[in-house]
Chains A and B, each alone.
Chain A
């Protein structure tokens, strides 16, 4: 079988031909090997004369396996690495790191995606998935075979970060950034800092008023001259390249209306979320005495004189209806994570105001997780009654003749008979919804998930980075959560920013366009095609030739097909590599 004769232009002037490539095919636990016969994939490529090491591995990314790869590269003098595992979005950095540690050029490594783009897509077709894996691995080997050593491009970075959103996440992030030695610009759209927490009284778990927590952060910011805070401000422009962006901010207060410009290296987006507002009629919303969690919180925090009152009437009983606008089969499917604990906590506050108030919690399951469980226990000890309603049959809320409210449900323990509880107040436990932020989302090209919140690259491994270079997300804009978790995300973004900016320079992929001098006839076709003005002409004996500036080139490859002489190549995706990969894919294995 022809492995490579069709692959044009084998590199290496000194020794034409052979490469020494290591190929590792991952089981991914069973995520791959349950559907792809990895042993057969290995066997199909093991005899390739350029393949020195061909192994299957349970987890390619595991520490031990990385050590083995480094060891193999060094001992077998490998000059190429192919890892067939998951999406390149997840582990390109991991295996480039392996290459680097083994003194192998990181651009001689090719990631082959046999999980997302093979085993997981073809769980119904093991034979087809195995054949596909063989073809994809062959294409990966073909690309690596033609790889040339490249060095990353070095760009200077600006030691400053712009934090968009001045809620608890943004403010705590700003302090972290300043303390690690980066300048910070906080851009808050509203006139006031603080976000949701800034409007809250005593919060769970420690009863510290949200307002006080925000005031504390604002005081700390005032002591840090490297933090600039802009309120009534919005980010309206972003230009530049990795590590050095120009950010335009529109500030329009009562007395100001100006466009300000800042140089920053990274962005942390902490724009938070909104609360769900029920439709009129949804679970009785609109009836006097039916309130949302947020409205209720204010009522409790403002209660004086040992009594809770609603429109002048003393409240003697309350029903809480959980999961409103959340965990719905149609609509918002997610759980907002903070609302169970916030409600449990509110009921403790109520019992402190007036222990005689009777409280009924109508829930689907109480997600007061971790230490919040202690609050749940305390709430029960203080007399709160917890009743579980079925997922598909939410309670009905009606106004009774005496002006009070009647809540009817089927309780999981006493059902199937309906139970009606007369109460003075119904609290709809509303969760969070994504904030409307189209202008910012499209300006930064931020990816959003199905649920409408911003998406990180990977929930476990890269939890605050986005696919947009240099832009991190943190806090409730990424998904609903309690304040401590929001802040943790912010601090992770501090570390990520510092990791990028503290060295003073960043290394970028050198996968840029190059002009083959010998082939270029100076026709000039390419000179106007690059929107980044990366291509210029220089005079030579025969007239002119084209030259690509590596610093300006964004690596799109748009100029490649424009050249009538085939003189332009995109490094990492050269014509020779792409044609060889296409040949690799075509090489159909005879079915065993």
Chain B
């Protein structure tokens, strides 16, 4: 099954922020097991999800991504004991900024992806892509 062509409906483009030590290995594992998810997903790895700037997320949505997904460390983060709260706070702040630009909050999603969470990651991607499809095209044009 191709995610492109066929239906004529473009698959939503998703930017994933992963973390070098935890979620990125989980995403690698999804590939190693050939678990399919849309090829419109791109991953940028960071040390820790609490270092993501809201402005980057807004920039991504303006630059043509239909949704941004933060694959966070959950409780496993080796750096910050309050990583989950920090990242959740960033999500809230960003969703506020998105609203100001007329972007639906559902375009930003966060979930913990562990270093062996291959199946969950592939599933998140398929579900997020489906949710974004239902949401329709971005209300702003690509910048």
B residues neighboring A (CB under 8 Å): 1-5, 11, 15, 20-21, 24-25, 27-32, 34-48, 50-56, 59-60, 63-65, 76, 78-81, 83, 86, 90, 115-116, 122, 142
**CB <8 Å contact, B32 and A120:** yes
Contact A129 B39 (CB under 8 A): yes
- The answer, among B46, B50, B76, for a CB contact under 8 Å with A445, is B76
Check A121/B34 contact, CB under 8 A, given A467-B115, A531-B81, A582-B56.
yes
Tell me whether B1 and A573 are in contact (CB under 8 A). Answer: no
- Give the CA-CA distance A135 to B65 in the complex, in Å: 12
Q: A116-B28, A121-B39 are in contact. List 14 more A-B contacts (CB 8 A).
A: A116-B31, A117-B31, A121-B122, A127-B5, A447-B25, A447-B115, A511-B47, A561-B52, A561-B54, A561-B90, A566-B55, A573-B47, A579-B56, A585-B44
A586, B63: Cβ atoms closer than 8 Å: yes
Residue contact B51 to A561, C-beta cutoff 8 Å: yes
B41 to chain A, nearest CB (A): 8
Q: Which of A62-70, A217-225, A370-378, A550-558 contacts B (4 or more CB under 8 A)?
A: A550-558
Contact residues in B for A131 (Cβ distance below 8 Å)? 39
Report how far A135 CA is from B66 CA in the complex, Å. Answer: 15
Q: Identify B51's interface contact among A136, A445, A570, CB under 8 A.
A: A570
Q: Is the CB of A117 within 8 A of B28?
A: yes
- The 8 A CB mask of A85-97 against B (1 = contact, 0 = none) is 0011100000000
B5 — which chain A residues lie within 8 A by C-beta? Answer: 127
Residues of A within 8 A of B (CB): 6, 87-89, 113, 115-125, 127-129, 131-132, 135-136, 139, 445, 447-450, 467-468, 511, 531, 554-561, 566, 570, 573, 575, 578-579, 581-583, 585-586, 588
Give 8 closest A-B pairs by Cβ, nearest first: A557-B51, A128-B39, A556-B79, A116-B31, A116-B28, A120-B31, A586-B63, A121-B31
Output the nearest chain B residue to A129 by Cβ-Cβ distance.
B39
Residues on B with C-beta less than 8 A from A467 are 21, 25, 115
A125 to B2, CA, bound (A): 5
Query: Min CB distance, B133 to chain A, in Å?
Result: 15
Find out whether the CB atom of A586 lies under 8 angstroms from the CB atom of B142: yes
* List of B residues within 8 angstroms of A447 by Cβ: 25, 115-116
A554 touches B79 (CB 8 A): yes
Complex formed: what's the CA distance from A139 to B55 in Å?
18
Q: Please indicate the chain A residues that have their CB under 8 angstroms from the CB of B63 in the complex.
A: 6, 582-583, 585-586
Cα(A131)–Cα(B10), bound, Å: 13
Complexed CA–CA distance, A586 and B52 (Å):
18
Q: Which residues of B contact A511 (CB under 8 A)?
A: 47
Given A116-B27, A117-B28, A558-B80, A124 and B56 contact (CB-CB distance below 8 Å): no
Q: B81 contacts which chain A residues (CB < 8 A)?
A: 531
Residue on B with the closest CB to A6?
Answer: B63
Q: Which residue of A lies closest to B65 (CB)?
A: A586
- Residues in A with CB closer than 8 Å to B142 are 586
Cα A125 to Cα B4 in complex, Å, equals 8
Q: What B residues does A117 contact at CB under 8 A?
A: 27-28, 31, 43
Whether A557 touches B47, Cβ cut-off 8 Å, given contacts A120-B31, A578-B56, is yes
Report Cα–Cα, A139/B27, bound state, in Å: 18
Contact in complex: A556, B28 (CB < 8 Å): no
Q: How far is the CB of B81 from chain A (nearest CB, A)?
A: 7
Name 19 interchain pairs, CB-CB below 8 A, sorted by A.
A87-B25, A116-B31, A121-B35, A122-B36, A123-B34, A123-B36, A125-B4, A136-B42, A139-B42, A139-B44, A447-B25, A531-B79, A556-B48, A557-B47, A557-B50, A561-B50, A570-B47, A582-B59, A586-B64
Q: Is the CB of A116 within 8 A of B34?
A: no
Chain A min CB distance to B142 (Å)? 7
Cα of A129 to Cα of B42 in the assembled complex, Å: 11
Task: Give the shortest distance, in Å, between B5 (CB) and chain A (any CB).
Answer: 7
Complex: how many Å from CA A87 to CA B24? 9
Most B CB within 10 A of own CB, among A122, A132, A450: A122
Chain A residues closer than 8 Å to B24, beta-carbon distance: 87, 89
Measured CB to CB, the closest approach of chain A to B25, in angstroms, equals 6
Please indicate the chain B residues that have their CB under 8 angstroms from the CB of A120 in the complex: 31-32, 34
Distance from B85 Cβ to chain A, minimum over Cβ atoms (Å) = 11
**Residue of A with least CB distance to B1:** A124
A139 to B59, CA, bound (A): 14
Write out the residue numbers on chain A whose beta carbons fall within 8 Å of the beta carbon of B31. 115-121
Structural contact, B39 and A132, CB atoms closer than 8 A:
yes
A307–chain B nearest beta-carbon distance, Å: 51
Say whether A124 contacts B36, CB under 8 Å. Answer: yes
Give Cα A565–Cα B93 distance, bound, in whole angstroms.
Answer: 16
* Nearest-CB residue, chain B, relative to A572: B47
Contacts of B79 in A (CB 8 A): 531, 554, 556, 558
B65 x A449 contact (CB < 8 A): no
* A161 vs chain B, min Cβ distance (A): 21
- Chain A residue numbers with a CB within 8 Å of B21 are 467
Query: What is the minimal beta-carbon distance from B34 to any residue of chain A, in angstroms?
Result: 5
Q: Is the CB of A450 within 8 A of B116?
A: yes
Task: Give the residue of A450, A570, A582 whose beta carbon is less than 8 angstroms from that of B60.
Answer: A582
Chain A residues whose C-beta falls within 8 Å of the C-beta of B55 in the assembled complex: 566, 575
B96 to chain A, nearest CB (A): 14
